[in-house]
Amino acid sequence: MSNNIEGKIVVITGASSGLGEATARLLFAQGASVVLGARRTDRIQSLVDELSGSGGKALAVTTDVTHCDQVKRLVDAAVQTYGRIDVIINNAGLMPHSPLERLKIDDWNQTIDVNIKGVLYGIAAALPYMKQQKAGHIINVSSVAGHKVGPGSAVYAATKHAVLALSEGLRQEVKPYNIRTTVISPGAVATELPNSITEPDVAENIHKFYEKMAIPADSFARAVAFAMSQPEEVDVNEILFRPTSQEL
Protein backbone atom coordinates (compact mmCIF):
# COMPACT_ATOMS: atom_id res chain seq x y z
CA MET A 1 0.00 0.00 0.00
CA SER A 2 1.45 3.38 -1.04
CA ASN A 3 2.12 6.01 1.61
CA ASN A 4 1.56 8.77 -1.00
CA ILE A 5 4.95 10.18 0.03
CA GLU A 6 7.37 7.86 -1.73
CA GLY A 7 8.73 9.37 -4.94
CA LYS A 8 7.36 12.86 -4.32
CA ILE A 9 9.55 15.94 -4.84
CA VAL A 10 9.32 18.08 -1.70
CA VAL A 11 10.71 21.61 -1.29
CA ILE A 12 11.24 22.79 2.30
CA THR A 13 12.20 26.29 3.41
CA GLY A 14 13.84 26.87 6.78
CA ALA A 15 15.34 23.41 6.43
CA SER A 16 18.61 23.97 8.32
CA SER A 17 17.19 23.11 11.76
CA GLY A 18 14.07 22.48 13.81
CA LEU A 19 10.81 21.74 12.02
CA GLY A 20 12.33 21.85 8.54
CA GLU A 21 15.21 19.52 9.31
CA ALA A 22 12.99 17.02 11.16
CA THR A 23 10.50 17.02 8.29
CA ALA A 24 13.23 16.54 5.69
CA ARG A 25 14.54 13.53 7.61
CA LEU A 26 11.13 11.89 8.02
CA LEU A 27 9.92 12.44 4.46
CA PHE A 28 13.27 11.29 3.04
CA ALA A 29 13.04 8.15 5.17
CA GLN A 30 9.58 7.53 3.68
CA GLY A 31 10.88 7.76 0.13
CA ALA A 32 10.52 11.42 -0.85
CA SER A 33 13.18 13.43 -2.64
CA VAL A 34 13.86 16.62 -0.67
CA VAL A 35 15.05 20.02 -1.87
CA LEU A 36 16.21 22.06 1.09
CA GLY A 37 16.35 25.84 1.29
CA ALA A 38 17.88 27.94 4.09
CA ARG A 39 20.37 30.74 4.59
CA ARG A 40 22.88 28.50 6.38
CA THR A 41 24.42 26.72 3.41
CA ASP A 42 26.73 24.57 5.53
CA ARG A 43 23.83 23.17 7.57
CA ILE A 44 21.63 22.18 4.64
CA GLN A 45 24.56 20.86 2.61
CA SER A 46 25.67 18.71 5.57
CA LEU A 47 22.13 17.33 5.86
CA VAL A 48 21.97 16.63 2.12
CA ASP A 49 25.34 14.85 2.26
CA GLU A 50 24.12 12.74 5.16
CA LEU A 51 20.83 11.81 3.48
CA SER A 52 22.36 11.20 0.06
CA GLY A 53 24.93 8.90 1.65
CA SER A 54 22.11 6.53 2.55
CA GLY A 55 20.73 6.53 -1.00
CA GLY A 56 17.89 8.61 -2.36
CA LYS A 57 17.77 12.13 -3.71
CA ALA A 58 18.41 15.37 -1.84
CA LEU A 59 19.47 18.84 -2.94
CA ALA A 60 20.55 21.97 -1.04
CA VAL A 61 19.93 25.49 -2.37
CA THR A 62 20.96 28.53 -0.34
CA THR A 63 17.78 30.55 0.14
CA ASP A 64 16.74 33.68 2.00
CA VAL A 65 12.94 33.67 1.88
CA THR A 66 12.79 37.46 2.15
CA HIS A 67 14.01 37.58 -1.46
CA CYS A 68 11.43 36.45 -4.00
CA ASP A 69 14.07 35.64 -6.61
CA GLN A 70 15.88 33.30 -4.23
CA VAL A 71 12.70 31.37 -3.41
CA LYS A 72 11.96 31.09 -7.13
CA ARG A 73 15.50 29.81 -7.70
CA LEU A 74 14.92 27.14 -5.01
CA VAL A 75 11.73 25.88 -6.64
CA ASP A 76 13.17 26.15 -10.15
CA ALA A 77 16.14 24.03 -9.02
CA ALA A 78 13.77 21.32 -7.81
CA VAL A 79 11.94 21.23 -11.14
CA GLN A 80 15.11 21.42 -13.23
CA THR A 81 16.76 18.62 -11.22
CA TYR A 82 13.83 16.26 -10.65
CA GLY A 83 11.29 17.27 -13.31
CA ARG A 84 8.47 18.51 -11.08
CA ILE A 85 7.48 19.79 -7.65
CA ASP A 86 4.87 17.86 -5.70
CA VAL A 87 4.95 19.63 -2.33
CA ILE A 88 6.27 22.91 -0.96
CA ILE A 89 6.49 23.42 2.80
CA ASN A 90 6.70 27.14 3.59
CA ASN A 91 8.29 26.66 6.98
CA ALA A 92 10.87 29.44 7.48
CA GLY A 93 9.87 31.66 10.38
CA LEU A 94 10.94 34.05 13.14
CA MET A 95 9.45 34.77 16.58
CA PRO A 96 11.03 37.94 18.04
CA HIS A 97 8.49 38.55 20.81
CA SER A 98 8.44 41.93 22.54
CA PRO A 99 5.82 44.32 23.95
CA LEU A 100 4.68 46.82 21.33
CA GLU A 101 5.66 49.73 23.56
CA ARG A 102 9.33 48.84 23.10
CA LEU A 103 9.00 49.83 19.44
CA LYS A 104 11.18 47.07 18.02
CA ILE A 105 10.43 48.22 14.50
CA ASP A 106 13.32 46.35 12.85
CA ASP A 107 12.05 43.15 14.48
CA TRP A 108 8.53 43.89 13.24
CA ASN A 109 9.72 44.37 9.69
CA GLN A 110 11.84 41.24 9.69
CA THR A 111 8.99 39.17 11.14
CA ILE A 112 6.62 40.39 8.42
CA ASP A 113 9.23 39.81 5.71
CA VAL A 114 9.95 36.22 6.76
CA ASN A 115 6.61 35.01 8.13
CA ILE A 116 4.25 36.59 5.59
CA LYS A 117 6.24 37.55 2.52
CA GLY A 118 8.31 34.36 2.72
CA VAL A 119 5.12 32.28 2.54
CA LEU A 120 3.78 34.38 -0.34
CA TYR A 121 7.04 34.01 -2.23
CA GLY A 122 6.89 30.24 -1.78
CA ILE A 123 3.36 30.19 -3.16
CA ALA A 124 4.40 32.42 -6.06
CA ALA A 125 7.30 30.13 -6.94
CA ALA A 126 5.40 26.83 -6.74
CA LEU A 127 1.91 27.69 -7.96
CA PRO A 128 2.67 28.12 -11.69
CA TYR A 129 4.27 24.65 -11.83
CA MET A 130 1.46 23.04 -9.85
CA LYS A 131 -1.21 24.67 -12.03
CA GLN A 132 0.53 23.29 -15.12
CA GLN A 133 0.82 19.84 -13.55
CA LYS A 134 -2.79 19.97 -12.30
CA ALA A 135 -1.41 18.52 -9.07
CA GLY A 136 0.50 19.60 -6.00
CA HIS A 137 0.34 20.29 -2.28
CA ILE A 138 1.17 23.60 -0.57
CA ILE A 139 1.82 23.34 3.17
CA ASN A 140 2.10 26.58 5.16
CA VAL A 141 3.25 26.88 8.76
CA SER A 142 1.22 29.02 11.14
CA SER A 143 1.25 28.64 14.93
CA VAL A 144 -0.97 28.40 17.98
CA ALA A 145 -0.26 32.15 17.99
CA GLY A 146 -2.29 32.30 14.79
CA HIS A 147 -5.29 31.32 16.91
CA LYS A 148 -4.51 33.00 20.25
CA VAL A 149 -2.79 36.31 21.00
CA GLY A 150 -0.83 37.01 24.16
CA PRO A 151 1.04 40.03 25.52
CA GLY A 152 4.38 40.42 23.77
CA SER A 153 3.31 38.33 20.79
CA ALA A 154 1.15 40.82 18.90
CA VAL A 155 3.28 41.17 15.77
CA TYR A 156 4.23 37.49 15.62
CA ALA A 157 0.60 36.49 16.15
CA ALA A 158 -0.50 38.94 13.46
CA THR A 159 1.84 37.30 10.94
CA LYS A 160 0.59 33.83 11.86
CA HIS A 161 -3.05 34.96 11.61
CA ALA A 162 -2.10 36.21 8.15
CA VAL A 163 -0.76 32.78 7.21
CA LEU A 164 -4.12 31.26 8.19
CA ALA A 165 -5.97 33.80 6.03
CA LEU A 166 -3.63 33.33 3.07
CA SER A 167 -3.97 29.56 3.32
CA GLU A 168 -7.76 29.69 3.35
CA GLY A 169 -7.86 32.03 0.37
CA LEU A 170 -5.40 29.81 -1.46
CA ARG A 171 -7.47 26.71 -0.68
CA GLN A 172 -10.51 28.23 -2.37
CA GLU A 173 -8.64 29.54 -5.40
CA VAL A 174 -6.74 26.39 -6.37
CA LYS A 175 -9.74 24.04 -6.60
CA PRO A 176 -9.71 24.09 -10.45
CA TYR A 177 -6.11 22.83 -10.47
CA ASN A 178 -6.42 19.80 -8.19
CA ILE A 179 -3.98 21.34 -5.69
CA ARG A 180 -4.18 20.46 -2.01
CA THR A 181 -3.49 22.98 0.78
CA THR A 182 -2.64 22.48 4.43
CA VAL A 183 -1.83 24.97 7.18
CA ILE A 184 -0.20 23.53 10.31
CA SER A 185 -0.27 25.42 13.62
CA PRO A 186 2.19 24.01 16.18
CA GLY A 187 2.33 24.89 19.85
CA ALA A 188 5.61 24.81 21.74
CA VAL A 189 7.97 22.61 19.73
CA ALA A 190 11.71 22.32 20.44
CA THR A 191 13.36 24.45 17.73
CA GLU A 192 15.68 27.44 17.47
CA LEU A 193 12.69 29.79 17.18
CA PRO A 194 13.14 31.35 20.64
CA ASN A 195 16.69 32.32 19.64
CA SER A 196 15.21 35.00 17.36
CA ILE A 197 13.99 36.99 20.39
CA THR A 198 16.14 40.11 20.79
CA GLU A 199 14.86 41.34 24.17
CA PRO A 200 16.86 39.54 26.94
CA ASP A 201 14.08 39.48 29.56
CA VAL A 202 11.50 38.21 27.06
CA ALA A 203 13.94 35.63 25.72
CA GLU A 204 14.66 34.34 29.22
CA ASN A 205 10.97 33.76 29.95
CA ILE A 206 10.28 32.09 26.60
CA HIS A 207 13.32 29.82 26.92
CA LYS A 208 12.11 28.72 30.36
CA PHE A 209 8.66 28.03 28.95
CA TYR A 210 10.09 25.99 26.08
CA GLU A 211 12.44 24.05 28.35
CA LYS A 212 9.46 23.02 30.45
CA MET A 213 6.88 22.53 27.71
CA ALA A 214 8.31 21.92 24.25
CA ILE A 215 7.85 18.62 22.44
CA PRO A 216 10.26 17.25 19.80
CA ALA A 217 10.33 18.67 16.28
CA ASP A 218 9.39 15.30 14.79
CA SER A 219 5.87 15.93 16.15
CA PHE A 220 5.52 18.50 13.40
CA ALA A 221 7.11 16.20 10.83
CA ARG A 222 4.51 13.53 11.58
CA ALA A 223 1.72 16.08 11.08
CA VAL A 224 3.17 16.90 7.65
CA ALA A 225 3.42 13.21 6.79
CA PHE A 226 -0.19 12.66 7.88
CA ALA A 227 -1.48 15.41 5.59
CA MET A 228 0.66 14.28 2.65
CA SER A 229 -0.13 10.60 3.03
CA GLN A 230 -3.88 10.94 2.56
CA PRO A 231 -5.28 9.80 -0.82
CA GLU A 232 -5.14 12.56 -3.43
CA GLU A 233 -8.88 13.16 -3.18
CA VAL A 234 -8.53 13.94 0.56
CA ASP A 235 -7.43 17.49 1.40
CA VAL A 236 -6.42 17.99 5.05
CA ASN A 237 -6.73 21.77 5.29
CA GLU A 238 -5.74 22.55 8.86
CA ILE A 239 -3.88 20.89 11.73
CA LEU A 240 -3.56 22.56 15.15
CA PHE A 241 -1.53 20.72 17.78
CA ARG A 242 0.13 21.47 21.13
CA PRO A 243 2.03 19.70 23.85
CA THR A 244 -0.55 17.88 25.95
CA SER A 245 0.40 20.06 28.93
CA GLN A 246 0.23 23.41 27.10
CA GLU A 247 -2.75 25.46 28.25
CA LEU A 248 -2.66 28.48 25.91
Rg, C-alpha atoms of the chain: 17
- Annotated catalytic residue within 129, 156, 177, 210: 156
CA 96 to chain centre: 17
Distance separating alpha carbons of residues 196 and 98, to the nearest angstrom = 11
Residue 156 carries which side chain, given as an amino acid letter? Answer: Y
HEC string for 141-198: ECCHHHCCCCCCCHHHHHHHHHHHHHHHHHHHHCHHHCEEEEEEEECCECCCHHHHCC
CB 58 within 8 A of CB 37: no
Q: Are strands 136-141 and 33-38 parallel, antiparallel or unpaired?
A: unpaired
Active site residue 210: no
| 210 Rama sector, left if φ>0, alpha if ψ -120 to 50, beta otherwise | alpha
> Catalytic amino acids?
156
